[in-house]
Structure 1
């Protein structure tokens, strides 16, 4: 049933339409037209009266909501925003408040001081892959993008595959707000469709359904950030453009995780989710889950017309059920503008305990040595990429990436990954703004502690529309 306020609105609208239909077409006044003018004036008076009644109804409803909220338990209450259509409401979590006072937290259906935004992209990937030393299992990451530890070594004859998927398509939502006092707030959540459904290989049979996977979820308040996003140590501006999901994985500092971050000027500091992955007598990475001290990072960045430069440090506790040690690493990253059409991008990272921050967990954070003690794993990794813009629509990138792990074969065995490297070259064409069509040729190699190695070659194409 329509509310009284809604009924009054419809009556007012009918009056206005009637007045418009019978308005005089000329300035000449006949007795009949004079009568119509008087009637119009009467309708205008009634319309103003109806408007006053509607406003009074809205004020009454808003006051009633405050009274209900004051008696509500910490559950949900119905919020009506003054100035919104009568009857508009939304379920909103509220905190209990003293009688006659509004709740501390209330969510309305309209937030006049907030700006809502959304975006993302649709991305089709089509890959043809060749391996020299065995298969890559279907439905695993190595079949969908370059995953260094997935390159098979001495696992049988070479194989070839063709895979199509759209799992890296992405959606994000954001809310920005600036208060009267000048405080800035931002909330952001982002998801794609890679990760949640990869174990269900069978769904390629008919539906190819993949659940959403959380990438980012955080809130910012002035200089503070809390939630999940890129590690403070990651320099996104140094990453070369690739048709592949990341491409130069071997040498890339890559981690998204929950954290608390503070930024001031060129500096940023964070406390981030701790986790230790280690090797114990074999190449397999074991998750300990025993950390009780967060990872600590600090980062400094400067930029100008020439490009940008950053240096980041990471300090970590590495811990298992029986032992503990510390890890520390340093990362240098940046870009150089080499004229109007050329850009150089790079990263160099290294140190004991860098482990899971490099190349999708390419190396362990630590290992159990031959004496039974926990040792931080030493490694060094990096990449360099050169981008050239052929014209306003066509561009290409040539990149090399590598990682070297100081593996103790006596402690972890001869099959542990000791080194990976890869080359790639792409050509990306944008026939229209926000539409990219690209192709990329790549080669990768993984070498074990015993010196054996396997190769991967790939032709990767994509169509991507960003909105």
Structure 2
């Protein structure tokens, strides 16, 4: 028996089994390697995709930036500059204003504006149920500006048609120049400023207020951004005296906070009638307080002796007595009002004004003695002991250049002496309306 053959067969079989096992092992290793390579390839593809996306974003941003650089900047429209023949820049402004007034009761004069100090006494030629209208408060103005050396010079000219006794003549409202801290010309009096009066529709304001414009020379000293002092020499144009010296006025303005402004004022002026003279003087205090945004409180107070040229609706400041000496009137006045801005188009004001004169029998007697014999009523009947007015108004502005207003006012005056009819009190009961186009 050949024993070699089985041995060879066994060896061959074991070799084949080994090869088979090795092949399986190699195949498994190959598959594992292939999976690793596939996973790596996937990661590289994802990384490539992310890179492509980033490149797209950067390309878009770059294109936007390039377009912005290449796009021409918008050209600003220049505001037209108007110039005079001398090279001064100026701008034109003003308004067209129509006023109407319905007198329910009271008044002795056919006027569309306030004259509370002269309304008829009860039973004495009262003119009631009267409608009046006017465009006399229509206004036209020019603001100028030019350079003089290293200093800017500014000027203003403003006119309306409220001149003359019947308020129907052209008149100068403002005409002045500013050079540094100096002002020369005509503008609001330094003593009787309108800044602290409650808003009214009436162009002449109400009792206790002042709308006085005077020729003047004044200087402003700034102590700080919140405080300044203004001093002036003014011509009050008091036709009741022989004027030889200007009135001297001073005004100290201070801002306590963003919502509170105050002003303290003083005035002195010689009053001369023939060779007799007296010194008139006065003090004033005004305040403006923004209670909350949109709500503003204003108040103004005056105490004046011997003057009738600054504050409106007063008695004659001085009267000559029989012996030639002068006697002076003295009064206190106050106005207070609250303005509410309801929205950007609608606002309204409630206001009150009061004026009271000292009871001086020498003054009253001098007025009676100075009355012409041809007059039925004495000058003491035309003068007043007390005046007051209360008003409420509302303004509506549908667009910026247009404004419409409606106002009701009621007031009374009490004369120093009763009229021949026995009446000593007169009333002013009116409804005012206005339409304004600003340009």
The alignment's TM-score, normalised by the length of structure 1, stands at: 0.67
| 3-state secondary structure, aligned to 1:355 | coil
Q: CA deviation at 1:194?
A: 1.3
Counterparts of 1:41-80 in structure 2 under 5 Å?
none
Are 1:431 and 2:384 an aligned pair?
Answer: no
Question: How far apart in 1 are the matches of 2:147 and 2:312?
Answer: 38
Residues 306-335 of structure 1 deviation map (CA, whole Å, 9 limit, x = unaligned): 221001100110100031010111000120
Which residue of the partner structure matches residue 256 of structure 1?
213
Change (3 A) 1:384 1:197: closer
Verify the 8 A CA contact 1:117 1:173 in the aligned structure 2: yes
Question: How far apart in 1 are the matches of 2:235 and 2:221?
Answer: 21
Are 1:152 and 2:120 an aligned pair?
Answer: yes
Question: How far apart in 1 are the matches of 2:192 and 2:260?
Answer: 17
User: 269, 272, 280: which is aligned to 2:231?
Assistant: 269
Question: How far apart in 1 are the matches of 2:84 and 2:187?
Answer: 27
Question: How far apart in 1 are the matches of 2:99 and 2:171?
Answer: 18
Verify the 8 A CA contact 2:175 2:187 in the aligned structure 1: yes
Question: How far apart in 2 are the matches of 1:195 and 1:274?
Answer: 16
* Structure whose alpha-carbon radius of gyration is higher: 2
Q: CA deviation at 1:180?
A: 5.0
Verify the 8 A CA contact 1:276 1:319 in the aligned structure 2: no
Residues 19-71 of structure 1 deviation map (CA, whole Å, 9 limit, x = unaligned): xxxxxxxxxxxxxxxxxxxxxxxxxxxxxxxxxxxxxxxxxxxxxxxxxxxxx
Which residue of the partner structure matches residue 70 of structure 2?
none
Q: CA deviation at 1:296?
A: 0.2
Question: How far apart in 2 are the matches of 1:397 and 1:153?
Answer: 28
User: 391, 398, 410: which is aligned to 2:365?
Assistant: 410
Counterparts of 1:195-210 in structure 2 under 5 Å?
195-196=163-164, 198=166, 210=168
Which residue of the partner structure matches residue 103 of structure 2?
129
Verify the 8 A CA contact 2:109 2:127 in the aligned structure 1: no
Verify the 8 A CA contact 2:116 2:428 in the aligned structure 1: no
Which residue of the partner structure matches residue 186 of structure 2?
228
Are 1:351 and 2:320 an aligned pair?
Answer: no
Change (3 A) 1:262 1:110: closer
- Structure showing greater relative contact order (alpha-carbon pairs closer than 8 Å, 6 or more residues apart): 2
Question: How far apart in 1 are the matches of 2:327 and 2:184?
Answer: 31
Residues 107-160 of structure 1 deviation map (CA, whole Å, 9 limit, x = unaligned): 97251xx3211211111111110234xx5333xxxx211122231114135522
Misfit runs of 4+, over 4 Å: 274-277
User: 164, 167, 184: which is aligned to 2:133?
Assistant: 164
Verify the 8 A CA contact 1:226 1:261 in the aligned structure 2: yes
Are 1:176 and 2:145 an aligned pair?
Answer: yes
Which residue of the partner structure matches residue 70 of structure 1?
none
Verify the 8 A CA contact 1:276 1:320 in the aligned structure 2: no
Question: How far apart in 2 are the matches of 1:393 and 1:157?
Answer: 38
Are 1:323 and 2:281 an aligned pair?
Answer: no
Cα RMSD, aligned residues only? 2.1
Counterparts of 1:75-94 in structure 2 under 5 Å?
none
Which residue of the partner structure matches residue 89 of structure 2?
115
Question: How far apart in 1 are the matches of 2:171 and 2:126?
Answer: 35
Which residue of the partner structure matches residue 74 of structure 1?
none
Residues 169-207 of structure 1 deviation map (CA, whole Å, 9 limit, x = unaligned): 1001121123452x12112111001124838xxxxxxxx
| 3-state secondary structure, aligned to 1:168 | coil
Which residue of the partner structure matches residue 218 of structure 1?
176
Residues 189-245 of structure 1 deviation map (CA, whole Å, 9 limit, x = unaligned): 11001124838xxxxxxxxxx442111111111111111111111333212221111
Verify the 8 A CA contact 1:174 1:189 in the aligned structure 2: yes
Question: How far apart in 1 are the matches of 2:212 and 2:126?
Answer: 34
> Which runs of 5 or more residues in structure 2 are unaligned?
1-82, 223-227, 369-379, 419-423
> Which runs of 5 or more residues in structure 1 are unaligned?
1-106, 200-209, 278-286
Are 1:420 and 2:387 an aligned pair?
Answer: yes
User: 291, 294, 312: which is aligned to 1:341?
Assistant: 294
Residues 410-460 of structure 1 deviation map (CA, whole Å, 9 limit, x = unaligned): 222341222111000001111111311110000121110136111011111
Question: How far apart in 1 are the matches of 2:425 and 2:165?
Answer: 31
Question: How far apart in 2 are the matches of 1:352 and 1:458?
Answer: 31
Q: CA deviation at 1:299?
A: 0.6
